[in-house]
Structures are given as C-alpha cells and as structure tokens.
C-alpha cells in the first residue's frame, strides 16, 4: 500500500479502500477496480475478522485473487487495536496493517505504533495509524471538537513513528448518517498536517461525506478514502428489493446480483477519487 499511496500523493488523487468481510465482497471490489483500471485497497476490519471468518481461512484466497488481477491490490487490516492480532495479520500475508492505538494518550500511541512500524518492515508491509477519534454515528452524535485531530500532535506522531499514512479526524464519522445530512469538515486540519509532513493522509468514514467534501479533501492531500457503509448498504437495499419483488429467487443468484449492486458503488467512488486509469 505504501507505493500505491506515494504515487497518489505525487499525482494528487486518492485510492479507495473498501471494507470487505468475505470472499464475495472482496471479489466484487477487485472486479470493480479491474473495470476502472484503478488501484484498490481491500480493508478487512479487525472486528469482522474476529466475528465472522478467521484470517487463516480468508486471507490466502484474497491474496490469490489480488495476484491474479492486472491492477494493484493491497490488503489492509482496518482498525487493528489488538497488537497480537495485528502481528498475526502480518504473518498471514497482509500487505498493510492499521495499528489503531488512538484510544491511548499520544505518548502511548507513539510507542505502540513505532514498534509495529519496525516489525512491519521485516514483512515489507506498510503501516497506517490514527491520531484523533473518528468515532461512529450514534443517533444524533457525530464528530465533535474533542474528537478532532490536533495537527501539532499529528505532526509529532508522524515524525516519531515513521508511519506510511495517517488517518485524521476532521469531520467524518463511521457508519450511516441520517438521510440528507452532510458533515462539516475542518479542512484546516488537513492543510496544516500536509504542509508540515507531505505524508499520504487518510479519510475514514467516506460514506455519506459528500462529493464536495471528498473532492476538497483530495485537493488538500487526502490520498486514501475508506468506504464501507455505502458499499454494504447498496447490497442490503438490493436484497430487500429483490426479495420483495421476486421472493422465489434462488440464493446463489441473489448473492451474485447483490455483489453487482455493490460494484457500482465502488466504481462511483473510484471515479470521484481520481484513481480511474491510474493502475
């Protein structure tokens, strides 16, 4: 993922990172990237890997899919908070891991992340981290002032850890916003950190962030955009519609068609991110 984001950084676009949780979703995302001739990042969330399908059964087939495609595919652990689990993912062949120690004080976040960066170098893997707190949509609760990334903390963190990219909290949240809601972004946070470090920066919670916010973010130096909710919601909405209109449809056909609905969302985000034809 390091080289992928460095290229995006030089050419001022972003690479999409899509949350997948099984082989079907990973296949849909890779096919969308192939059709758009775009680099792509498969984000596998720690919670999904622990709750749904063990990495020992999931990682190798996705790596095989990645190796058999004509575009660049990175496999990244998303929000790895268990250090032992993050290490296991490196051993299993992840090309990148996110060491999310953002819940700790800055000094501890730096210490934990720096150790992971040193370990990841043995595996030739890249490391993403987070300073601030993206949080999640819960009722009417979104990002607040206390959750925003402190630019000075982020600049220090980058210099002391050697991370390959950093996730910032500057207005987005994980999950689905209420219909019609578009978050306000603190672009000054991105500007200050980018100017001081020139590092690839990451937007989490890209779903529902709004086209203008995303385009401005890329313009200011965001090079990786995470999307999960919109991808999964498209599949869920399709399933609900099909089961209502065609309740007798067979399950394999239903699953295959829902993946096609998810692919269209990924392709729209690739177009928006500027990564089309960048593979």
pLDDT digits (tens, 9 = 90+) for 23-33: 999 999 999 99
Q: What's the pLDDT score for residue 139?
A: 45
pLDDT bin (cut points 50, 70, 90) of residue 138 is very low
Residue 204, annotated as binding a ligand: yes
User: Which residues does residue 43 pair with via DSSP β-bridges, in sequence order?
Assistant: 19, 76
Q: How far apart are CA 17 and CA 232, in angstroms?
A: 13
- Alpha-carbon torsion angle 90, 92, 95, 97, nearest 10: -40
Residue 48, annotated as binding a ligand: no
Q: What's the pLDDT score for residue 171?
A: 86
pLDDT digits (tens, 9 = 90+) for 218-261: 999 999 999 999 999 999 999 999 999 999 999 999 999 999 99
Domain range summary for the chain, segments of one domain joined by +: 1-273
Q: What's the pLDDT score for residue 22?
A: 93
Q: What's the pLDDT score for residue 180?
A: 66
Average pLDDT over residues 163-172: 93
Average pLDDT over residues 141-169: 88
Q: What's the pLDDT score for residue 182?
A: 65
Q: 250 catalytic, yes or no?
A: no
Catalytic residue among 43, 47, 78, 133: 78
Q: Indicate if the pLDDT at residue 126 is higher than 60.
A: yes
Closest Cα to residue 81, out of 116, 29, 46? 46
pLDDT, the chain, mean: 92
Alpha-helical regions (H) of the chain: 2-11, 23-36, 46-51, 55-67, 83-92, 106-122, 151-161, 187-197, 211-220, 229-245, 251-273
Global pTM exceeds 0.75:
yes
pLDDT digits (tens, 9 = 90+) for 53-110: 888 899 999 999 999 999 999 999 999 999 999 999 999 999 999 999 999 999 999 9
Average pLDDT over residues 154-160: 98
97 SS3 class: strand
CATH of 1-273, one of 3.10.20.30, 3.20.20.70, 2.60.120.330, 3.30.70.141: 3.20.20.70
Q: How far apart are CA 42 and CA 26, in angstroms?
A: 7
pLDDT bin (cut points 50, 70, 90) of residue 133 is confident
Residue 256, annotated as binding a ligand: no
Q: Indicate if the pLDDT at residue 137 is higher than 50.
A: no
């Amino acid at each position: 993922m390091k080289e992928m984001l460095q290229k995006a950084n030089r050419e001022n676009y972003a690479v999409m990172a899509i949350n997948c949780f099984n082989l079907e979703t990973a296949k849909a995302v890779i096919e969308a990237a192939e059709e758009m001739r775009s680099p792509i990042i498969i984000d596998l969330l720690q919670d999904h890997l622990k709750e749904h399908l063990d990495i020992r059964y999931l990682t190798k087939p996705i790596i095989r899919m990645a190796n058999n495609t004509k575009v660049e595919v990175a496999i990244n652990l998303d929000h790895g908070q268990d250090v032992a689990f993050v290490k296991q993912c490196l051993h299993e062949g992840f090309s990148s891991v996110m060491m999310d120690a953002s819940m700790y004080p800055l000094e501890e976040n730096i210490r934990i992340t720096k150790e992971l960066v040193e370990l990841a170098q043995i595996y030739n893997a890249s490391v993403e981290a987070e300073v601030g707190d993206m949080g999640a949509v819960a009722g009417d609760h979104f990002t607040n002032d206390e959750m925003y990334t402190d630019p000075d903390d982020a600049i220090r963190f980058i210099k002391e850890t050697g991370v390959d990219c950093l996730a910032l909290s500057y207005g987005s949240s994980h999950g689905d916003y209420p219909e019609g809601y578009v978050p306000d972004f603190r672009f000054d946070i991105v500007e200050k950190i980018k100017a001081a470090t020139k590092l690839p920066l990451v937007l989490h919670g890209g779903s529902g962030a709004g086209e203008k916010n995303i385009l401005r973010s890329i313009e200011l130096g965001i090079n990786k955009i995470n999307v999960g909710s919109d991808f999964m919601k498209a599949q869920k909405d399709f399933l609900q519609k099909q089961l209502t209109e065609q309740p007798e449809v067979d399950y394999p056909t239903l699953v295959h068609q829902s993946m096609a609905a998810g692919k269209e969302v990924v392709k729209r985000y690739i177009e928006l991110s500027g990564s089309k034809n960048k593979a």
